[in-house]
């Protein structure tokens, strides 16, 4: 199994900033309390707080499935209050690729690393 890194770029819909912050806080709490295979989950704001970038790292594809399951309604809520663009770095399992296809992630396979 290979480590997967994910960059999620979230553009907050106008007038939804406070709601977004509440959902983001619930996501962080879920990861802290429930995820067992999440290695990194860091949120960063643009200066004007219209865009948030989440840097994520998972030990493997099953850990991503666990994370998505744990987020549940919070993930659905995010998709209703922001636009999401995902970049995946690594080799997701065929099952994970199929399960996330509708989210339209750009997948970058490993070329070289040290």
Question: In sequence order, which ranges of 1-72 are alpha helices (DSSP H)?
Answer: 17-34, 61-71
Give me the CATH code for the 4-108 domain, please.
Answer: 3.30.70.100
CA 75-79-80 angle, 5° bins: 120
pLDDT for res 25: 97
Reported as a single tens digit per residue, the pLDDT across 17-51 is 999 999 999 999 999 999 999 999 999 999 999 99
How high is the pLDDT of residue 1? 52
Which pLDDT value is given to residue 5? 97
What are the extents of the domains in the chain? 4-108
Beta strands in the chain (DSSP E): 4-12, 38-45, 51-58, 82-89, 106-108
pLDDT tens digits for 50-81? 999 999 999 999 999 999 999 999 999 999 99
User: Model pTM?
Assistant: 0.92
């Amino acid at each position: 199994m290979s480590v997967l890194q994910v960059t999620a770029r979230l553009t907050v819909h106008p007038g939804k900033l406070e709601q977004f912050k509440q959902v983001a806080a619930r996501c962080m709490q879920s990861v802290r309390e429930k995820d067992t295979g999440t290695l990194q989950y860091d949120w960063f704001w643009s200066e004007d707080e219209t865009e948030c970038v989440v840097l994520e790292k998972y030990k493997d594809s099953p850990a991503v499935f666990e994370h998505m399951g744990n987020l549940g309604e919070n993930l659905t809520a995010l998709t209703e209050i922001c636009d999401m663009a995902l970049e995946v770095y690594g080799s997701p399992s065929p099952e994970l690729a199929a399960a996330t296809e509708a989210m339209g992630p750009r997948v970058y396979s490993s070329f070289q690393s040290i």
